[in-house]
Structures are given as structure tokens and as C-alpha cells.
Amino acid sequence: MGKIISTLITVVVAVGFSAAIWVGANLVFNQARYHWARFNGLVFGVGGFLLGVLLSGNRLTIGSEGETLGGFLNWVWLPLVLAAVFAVLGVALTRTDDDRQRLIIAIATGAVVGVGLGLLIQDQYLPSFSPIGLIGWTVAGVAIGGGLALARKKPPLNGVLVWGALFFIIGAWGTADLGAGSTVEAVIGTLVPALALGVRLGLTDNPELHTRTIIDQKSRAVIFLGPALLFIFITLLVPTVRTIYLSLLDNRSEEFVAFENYVTTFQDRGSWDASGFSNFFTSQLFWIGVVLLGIGVVLGIAQKQRTGKAVELGGASLGPLVVAGVLLAFALFTTLRGTIVNNLWWVVAVTLFSTVLGLAVAVLADKAKGEKIAKSIIFMPMAISMVGASIIWRFMYASRDISGEQTGVLNALWVGLGRLSTGSGIPTLIVTIVLGLILLGLAYMVAMALTKQNVGRAVVPGVAFLLIGWFFVRFAGIVGGGVGGFRVTADGQTVARTIDFITDSPYNNFWLMVILIWIQTGFAMVILSAAIKAVPEEYLEAARVDGATQSQIFWRIVLPQIGTTIGVVVTTLIVVVMKVYDIVKVVTNGQFGTQVLANDMFNQAFAFGNTGRGAALAVLIFVSVLPVMYLNIRRMQKEA
């Protein structure tokens, strides 16, 4: 019970605090335009508070530690006092437009704050100035401030005051021997910069309404972006810079080795291995791909004649062309091996399949019966943790010695199919007949479509006919040794063999990708579905009135409307896939030729202690995604 309450409090405080800061900042800057005094007081107050926090938080001032005031009050009293003093200063400055009065107010406050702070410095930090350091830094500051102002063709006084004060502080406190000095020196150390900055403040005029409006406007960008950029700076930018730096050091981060880590990575046999490339032209994938490419081109030409358009989206030629492209890519990825190739393969396969399938579900389920159920089931894998997913797919891919029962779904189907096709019982006969009938039906559909000169209509049944026909040929044992986990050996025996999904390289890579496709399709579906739902109903209605069919509405209206979103999904998936590591880690840990960059990085950096090598791999991942991000942003800007 206590745990529930404390959890609740944590959550509420975290969320409430973040909201309060942001809304508060907006409200403060809302005052800038019409309530300058209030605004100035608030901003000065916050500034004073921060100064106090820094002093007190670093335990520089009296009373900030120990039990003087008790707990919280110890360090918070100074910030509060400073906040009050500064707030008064801020308001006071807005009350008069007389230069002399302003200067007096600012200098007086500067003196009070400077002396006060100097007196409050703890004994062990009282500085004993090093004259050279003090003068050197101050002169440098004055020079920089003056120089900068002159370079911008402005009067140098303001710059001299601010930069001089800043460098005076460094000179006074940074080069001094702390603890050896006196209170007088401490007061000098705080009074001088306080007076200088006070003068600087007093010299500034109260801004006009126009200037205040600009302050109001400009500040919004800062307030809106500030929190997010702060988080990004700390959690991502700093570590990224650190990683780039580490990648140039050796594995123990001791010596600078320039690009040696990168060279090692590329020279590693595991990264890039083209020795099997000669198999490219003999692989089945390659030849099927080439045939489909031919079909696609022929159909494309045929269509071009019908419509007079060079490229016809949604036309019959697109399907075969896409499939051909995928097959050729796969043929390439299975012959070239290595970590980098694997990563490319992952990117192509997972991005393509997840996006296409996610889009298909989003479109098909839209307004369909049982939409919610269908989408929930497709989404389900996203909700299952990586540990769960790896267990699931272990059950899917499991194989057992052929003498026993299969415990994996896929091998059970595979071996069952084999048993069926090599069997001679009634089930085998029934399957053969059913398959035959389906083939006849498909053939009829193709024939009908062709007689009507409707090539496009023939494509789907045609492809289905080819696929099922190939299966039928194998199943009936007309050519080859039947399908499924069986093959006939030279001596006429039927020998069973399960599919080794995990260990049989290179296709095991694809079986690992299937896991991610299974998960990420839900992601693509949710995002794309939201986009489809956001397509205004009026557009669809107008198209329907014009007599467009469902598929035309999809290709002509929905698709262009969600184009940007598809870009987002594709980009996100590419990034996710480039960084994929947990699936590989859990299932194979990169063995059996399934290594990918992110897992290699994880192992090198965290398991093998090769910091430099790991950092180089991380940079490699980062850099290789950059072109995608660039293209994306360019596209978005074109549209904007």
C-alpha cells in the first residue's frame, strides 16, 4: 500500500513539476509585452535565485552546510534572499527612465550584493589573490569585450564591463590560493564584478514596446524548445561526442590511434566477405528475380501503350517488378556475407515487409468488419517484450530429431507436409485433387482475363497459378523428391530433414528478420492507420461521387495524402533496424553468420572491453543512418 502511494507521488511530482516549469515560463513571458515591470522583477528574481543556488549548492557560503538552520533551509535561504533583492532591483529599474537614477539604483544594488556575498564566503574559500593571474585575466577579458564590440562597430563600454567582470571572477577566484586569504579580498572578489555588472545594467534603457514584443516572440522559441533540447543535449549529444572521441582511442581508451578502429572493423573478415559472390548468378533467387523482372517490364510496356504514361502506379507491372527487386536483393545478400551485409539485408527486408504489410492491414481493416479485433491482433506483438518474443519464436522455429514429434509449428507443418506428399493414403489423394481443382480455377480466371484483353486482371491469379502449380508439381512428385522435410537419397530411401531455422546460414538471417517484421508491422499499422483516418472524409466522398473505385481511391487519394507518413514510418524503421540488437543477441548472439553491427558493438564495448572498437561501430551505425535522415528532412522541407 505504501509502495502504491509513493509510486503515485513520484509520478505526480515528476509530471507536475515538469508542467509547472513550462507553464510558469510561458506565463512569465506573457508579461513581457504589457507588464514590463512585473516581467523584469520575475526574471531578475529567478536569476538571483539561480545565483544563490549555485553558491549555496557548491557550499561556498556560510550557513549552506551544517545544522545552522536545519535541513532544506540551509542552502535555500541564500537563493531566496538573492531572489528577493534581484526582484526588487528588476522592478526598480523599470520605474524610472532617468539614466542617472537607473545608474544609481543598479550601482547601489551591485554594491550591497557584492559586499554581502563577499562577507558570506566561507573561511576555507577566502582567496589570496595571485596578482599576475588577477590582472592577466581581467585585462584579457577587457580586451575581448572591447574587441568584440569594436568588431561589431558598437561602443565598447558594455562589452568591456561584462567580459571584464567575467574574467575578473576567473582571475580572482580561479588563480587564487583559496583559504589563505582574508575577508577583504573576498569582498573585493565579489564587489568588483558586481559593480561592473551593475553599471552595465544601469546603462541599459528600458525597452520600448516594440523591443518587448520581440523579446516576447523570441523567448517562445527558447521556452518551447528548451526542455526538449536540454534532455537531448544531456542524454544524446554529450554521449555521442564522447563516443566519437572514444572511437579514436585504443581499446583501453589510453592512446590516440586515429582511425585504426575503423580500419580494423572494415578489414575484419566478419564485416565484409565477398568470397561467395560467384554464387550470385547461380542462385535460384537470382533467376526467379530475372524472370519476374522480364514479366514486369513486358507488362509495363503493354500498359504504357494503353495509358500513354511512363510509370503507372498500381498497375499490373508494379507487383512483379517489386518482387523481382526484392528477390535480386536477397540473392545478393545471401551471396555476399558479413556483418555489414547482414545489416543492409535487415534494413531492406524488415523495412519493406513491415511497411507494406502494415499499410495493407491499415487499409484493409479500415472500416472493415472486426477492424478493432484485426488491428489488436496485429498490434499484439508490439506489446510482448523481447524476452517473450524470443521465447515465442523459439517455439515457432524449434526442431526435433526426425524420429520424434516436432515441437515447433513450422517444422511440424513442414514435416507433416512431407509425410503427406510422400504418403499414398486418402489424405494425400484429397489434397492432390483439391490442389488440382484450385489450379484449374485459376487457369480459367487467367484465360477469361486474357480474352477480355485485361492483362492487369490476369496478374494476381497468374502469379497464384505459378506458385501453387510449382507446389503441386513438387507435391505430386512429378519432378524432384516431393516437398516438406523429406528427400530421396541415392539408394531410394526417404530421408527426413527438418529446417534448421536458427543455424542454417545465410537464410537464418531472414528467419531472425521475420521476428522483427512480426513485431514492427504493428508499429507501421498504427501510424499509417492514424494517417488514413486523418484523410478528410470530404475527399473520399468527392471521389466516390466521381465514380472512383475503392482501389482508385486508395492509389489516387489516400496514398498521396499519407505519403509523408509513409516516409516517417520508413525512416523510423530504418533507424530501428540499423540499431537492432536484442533479437540477434537473444537468439544467436551473432553466431551462425547472423552478426549485426549493433550486437557486435554491444559485445565489443560491454562484453569484450574493446571500448575503441565498440565506439567505432556505434559511430558507423550513426553515420550510415544520416543519409536517410537527410533525405527525409529534405523531402519534408520541400513539402512545407
Partner 1 sequence: MTSTGTTPVLTDPGDVHPDAAMGDDGGKKGGVGDRIYGLLRAIPPGVLWLLVLVWSIPTLGLFVNSFRDRSSQRSSGWWTSLASPEQFTLDNYEVVLGASASAGLVDSLLNSFAIAIPATIIPIAMAAFAAYAFAWIDFKGRKWLFIGTVALLAVPLQVALIPLLQLFSGGAHWTIPGLDRTITFIADFDLAGNTTAVWLTHAGFAMPFAIFLLHNYISGLPKDLFEAARIDGADHFTVFWRLVLPLSIPVLAAFAIFQFLWTWNDFLIANTMVGSNPNAIPTTIRIANLAGDFGRNEHLLPAAAFVQSFVPIVVFFALQRYFVRGILAGSVKG
Partner 2 sequence: MTKRWHKLAALPIAFALVAAACGGDDDGVADAPDEPDTTEAPDTDEPDAPDTEDFGGVEIVITGSERDDPSVGAINAVLQEFGSERGIDVTFIGDADWEANINTQVEGGNPPDISIFPQPGKLAEFARDGFILPLSDDVVSSIQDHWAESYQLDGIVDDVHFGVPVKTDLKSLVWYKPSIFEGAGYAVPETYDELEALTQQMVDDGGPAPWCVGVESGQATGWTYTDWVEEMVLRLHGGDVYDGWVSNEIPFDDPRIIEAMQAPITLWTGESDEEAARQALADRDLPRVFAASGTIAQTNFADSADPLMDGQCYMHRQASFFSGFFPEGTPFADGSDDAINVFYFPDINDDAPALTAGTLAAAFNDEPATMAVLEFMATGEYAEKRQAEQTRLLDGGLSGFLSAASGQDPSVYQPLEQEFLDILLNAELARFDASDLMPAAVGAGSFWSEGTNIINGDITVSEGAARIQESWPN
Site for partner 2 in 271-300 (CB under 8 A): none
Bridge partners (DSSP) of residue 178 are 127
Q: Which stretch binds partner 1 (CB under 8 A): 106-114, 140-148, 203-211, 621-629?
A: 621-629
CA-to-CA distance for 344 and 247, rounded, in angstroms? 22
Of residues 373 and 430, the one with the C-beta less far from partner 1? 373
Nearest Cα residue to 397 out of 510, 258, 494? 510
Q: Which stretch binds partner 1 (CB under 8 A): 101-109, 193-201, 406-414, 490-498?
A: 406-414
Q: Residue 58 is placed in which grid cell?
A: 557548491
Q: C-alpha distances in angstroms, 295 versus 111, 318, 450?
A: 87, 10, 15
CA-to-CA distance for 255 and 319, rounded, in angstroms? 54
**Binding of partner 2 by 384 (CB under 8 A):** no
Those residues with Cβ within 8 angstroms of residue 410's Cβ, 6 or more apart along the chain or in another chain? 396, 397, 499, 501
Which of partner 2, partner 1, none binds 101 (CB below 5-8 Å, type-dependent)?
A: none
CA-to-CA distance for 34 and 47, rounded, in angstroms? 21
Which of partner 2, partner 1, none binds 615 (CB below 5-8 Å, type-dependent)?
A: partner 1
Nearest Cα residue to 339 out of 600, 515, 514? 600
Instruction: Name the minimum Å distance from CB 62 to partner 1.
Output: 18
**Binding of partner 2 by 573 (CB under 8 A):** no
Which of partner 2, partner 1, none binds 548 (CB below 5-8 Å, type-dependent)?
A: partner 1
**Binding of partner 1 by 183 (CB under 8 A):** no
Those residues with Cβ within 8 angstroms of residue 163's Cβ, 6 or more apart along the chain or in another chain? 141, 142, 144, 145, 146, 148
Q: Which stretch binds partner 2 (CB under 8 A): 2-10, 166-174, 540-548, 566-574?
A: 166-174
Residue numbers 451-490 binding partner 1 by CB under 8 A: 452, 454-457, 460
Q: How far is CA 286 from its chain centroid?
A: 34
Nearest Cα residue to 484 out of 402, 404, 429? 402
**Binding of partner 2 by 587 (CB under 8 A):** yes
**Binding of partner 2 by 200 (CB under 8 A):** yes
Q: Which stretch binds partner 1 (CB under 8 A): 140-148, 328-336, 389-397, 474-482?
A: 389-397
Three-state SS across 390-440?
HHHHHHHHCCCCCCCCCCCHHHHHHHHHHHHHHCCCHHHHHHHHHHHHHHH
Which of partner 2, partner 1, none binds 440 (CB below 5-8 Å, type-dependent)?
A: none
Q: Name the 3-class secondary structure at 337.
A: strand
Nearest Cα residue to 319 out of 347, 300, 345? 300
Which of partner 2, partner 1, none binds 243 (CB below 5-8 Å, type-dependent)?
A: partner 1
Binding mask 291-330 for partner 1 (x = CB under 8 A): ------------x--xx----x-xxx--------------
Q: What are the φ/ψ torsions at residue 233 (nearest 5 degrees)? A: -60, -50
Q: Residue 124 is placed in which grid cell?
A: 576555507
Q: What are the φ/ψ torsions at residue 392 (nearest 5 degrees)? A: -55, -50
Which of partner 1, partner 2, none binds 603 (CB below 5-8 Å, type-dependent)?
A: partner 2
Instruction: Name the minimum Å distance from CB 18 to partner 1.
Output: 5
Residue numbers 227-266 binding partner 1 by CB under 8 A: 227-229, 231-232, 234-240, 242-243
Of residues 280 and 539, the one with the C-beta less far from partner 1? 539
- Indicate which single residue of 429, 607, 623, 631 sits in contact with partner 2 (rule: CB under 8 A): 607
- Indicate which single residue of 605, 612, 613, 616 sits in contact with partner 1 (rule: CB under 8 A): 605
Q: What count of other Cβ atoms lies within 10 Å of the Cβ of residue 335?
A: 22
- Indicate which single residue of 85, 166, 187, 619 sits in contact with partner 2 (rule: CB under 8 A): 166
CA-to-CA distance for 254 and 257, rounded, in angstroms? 9
Those residues with Cβ within 8 angstroms of residue 315's Cβ, 6 or more apart along the chain or in another chain? 299, 300, 303, 456
Q: Which stretch binds partner 1 (CB under 8 A): 108-116, 219-227, 270-278, 472-480?
A: 219-227
Q: Which stretch binds partner 2 (CB under 8 A): 94-102, 197-205, 318-326, 375-383?
A: 197-205
Of residues 195 and 577, the one with the C-beta less far from partner 1? 577
Residue numbers 321-340 binding partner 2 by CB under 8 A: none
CA-to-CA distance for 461 and 444, rounded, in angstroms? 9
- Indicate which single residue of 12, 19, 222, 429 sits in contact with partner 2 (rule: CB under 8 A): 222
**Binding of partner 1 by 561 (CB under 8 A):** yes
Burial class (CB in 10 A: 0-12, 13-18, 19+), 385: exposed
- Indicate which single residue of 34, 470, 606, 608 sits in contact with partner 1 (rule: CB under 8 A): 606
177 DSSP 8-state letter:
E
- Indicate which single residue of 132, 150, 298, 377 sits in contact with partner 1 (rule: CB under 8 A): 377
Bridge partners (DSSP) of residue 554 are none
**Binding of partner 2 by 76 (CB under 8 A):** yes
Q: Which stretch binds partner 1 (CB under 8 A): 104-112, 169-177, 195-203, 465-473?
A: 169-177
Instruction: Name the minimum Å distance from CB 69 to partner 1.
Output: 19
Under 8 Å between Cβ of 494 and 402: no
Residue numbers 37-66 binding partner 2 by CB under 8 A: 43-44, 46-48, 50-51, 53-60, 65-66
267 DSSP 8-state letter:
H
Residue numbers 486-545 binding partner 1 by CB under 8 A: 518, 521, 523, 526-527, 529-531, 533-539, 542-543
**Binding of partner 1 by 58 (CB under 8 A):** yes
What is 472-530 written as a DSSP string? Answer: HHHHTTSSSS-SSSEEE-TTS-EEE----TTTSTTHHHHHHHHHHHHHHHHHHHHHHHH
Bridge partners (DSSP) of residue 249 are 256
Which of partner 1, partner 2, none binds 591 (CB below 5-8 Å, type-dependent)?
A: partner 2
**Binding of partner 2 by 588 (CB under 8 A):** yes
Instruction: Name the minimum Å distance from CB 113 to partner 1.
Output: 20
Of residues 242 and 533, the one with the C-beta less far from partner 2? 242
**Binding of partner 1 by 69 (CB under 8 A):** no
Q: Which stretch binds partner 1 (CB under 8 A): 61-69, 96-104, 146-154, 617-625?
A: 617-625
Those residues with Cβ within 8 angstroms of residue 414's Cβ, 6 or more apart along the chain or in another chain? 484, 485, 498, 499
